[in-house]
A = this chain, B = another copy of it.
Amino acid sequence: MNIGIVGATGAVGEELIRLFIEGIDKKEINNIKLSLFASSRSKGMVINEGNHELLIEEFSLKNTADCDVVFLCVSGDFSLKYAKELAKNSIVIDNSSAYRYDSDVPLIVPPVNGSCYKGEKLIANPNCSSAIALVALKPIHDRYEIEHMIVSTYQAASGAGKNGLIELKESIKSFGNNTLVNKESKYFKYNLAYNVVPQVDNFLDNAYTKEEMKVVWEVKKVLDDPNIKISVTAVRVPVIRSHAESITLKFKNKVNNISDIKEMLKNTEGVLLKDDVSNNIYPMPMTSTHNNDVEVGRIRKNLIYEDYGIDMFISGDQLLRGASYNAYEIFKRLLY
């Protein structure tokens, strides 16, 4: 199979290349020809990954014409311009939000709703915060039926790409006696060094950011339940890769025992249960970074809803389950 990765030099593209190479080396996938595409600036660059040397080509519809599957790890504007055209020849997995909310485009988190795939040529990969939460939410919703969900996020700098990461590290270096030498930021709304910024993406008319509404829309779509009511506060924190989320859930059905939920999540694909507070074991970016599974923990009865609600904390690698690994799984489980 011919696989094209567009946006091969970006943070998500790089991870996706690594996952494919790893899959090929481990013989999880065979007969794969990997073609990498980026803008003209990166044309001719060579990517070394494991024992593989891969040349970057300039993206064009012509250059990608013989790809069976094309991954778009690019901006929403780029996807809006090319995804439908590409989908005439290839199956397209789009990492942007451009088509996620179209009723005829499936939005897929493989362990959650992979079975909804009906052979569409354009497939949407979810937002990072949604994807990370959904692997844990699915079994909980199936058993207890989520009525309300309140989320506050702790989102890593990697969400703003490689340049955002470099800026964060450089800014922190220049941080003197409790003040920044240069408070400007090119890649975030405000400099993120020793700061938290309660804005990810732009604001919409309802005073929520688009990032916040993406979680609202995507959780309903992927769980295929428009009745769940969701409110989100999305916040950027000075962390490199992994996002974390504080989640409050209110259920229709009674939770008899918190340990039932833990047991269930222990056996849930894509979830790594980290919940042993007596030994200070809980999810953290420090431990979830570079792992495909989402850490879930601090599961406890919510003090408001009592037997009908829980609080929990999750952390997952934004570039993996939150982006490239989910896209790779869509390929491996549904298309390969």
Contacts and interface: CB of A to CB of B under 8 A. Distances in A.
Interface of A: 148, 150, 152, 154, 169, 172-173, 175, 178, 180, 183, 189-191, 194-199, 203, 206-208, 216, 229-233, 235, 237-241, 244, 246, 248, 258, 277-278, 280, 282-286, 289, 297-304, 311, 313, 315
13 contacts: A150-B150, A190-B284, A196-B237, A196-B284, A198-B282, A198-B283, A198-B298, A203-B278, A206-B303, A207-B300, A230-B304, A231-B302, A233-B313
B199 A280 contact: yes
Contacts of A207: 258, 277, 298-301
Contacts of A302: 231
A206 B284 contact: no
A208 B284 contact: no
Could you say which of A194, A199, A208, A282 has the most chain B C-beta atoms within 10 Å of its C-beta? A194
A278 B248 CA distance: 28
Nearest to A189: B280
Contact of A196 (B150, B203, B285, B297): B285
Given A183-B286, A237-B237, A196 B311 contact: no
A304 B148 contact: yes
Given A248-B231, A298-B207, A304-B150, A199 B282 contact: yes
Chain A binding site: helix, strand, loop or mixed by DSSP?
mixed
A200 B84 CA distance: 49
Contacts of A150: 150, 248, 304
A196 B156 CA distance: 10
A208 B313 contact: no
A297 B199 CA distance: 12
Contact of A233 (B195, B229, B298): B298
B303 A196 contact: no
Contacts of A258: 207
Contacts of A216: 303
A198 B313 contact: yes
Nearest to A234: B246
B286 A208 contact: no
Nearest to A309: B231
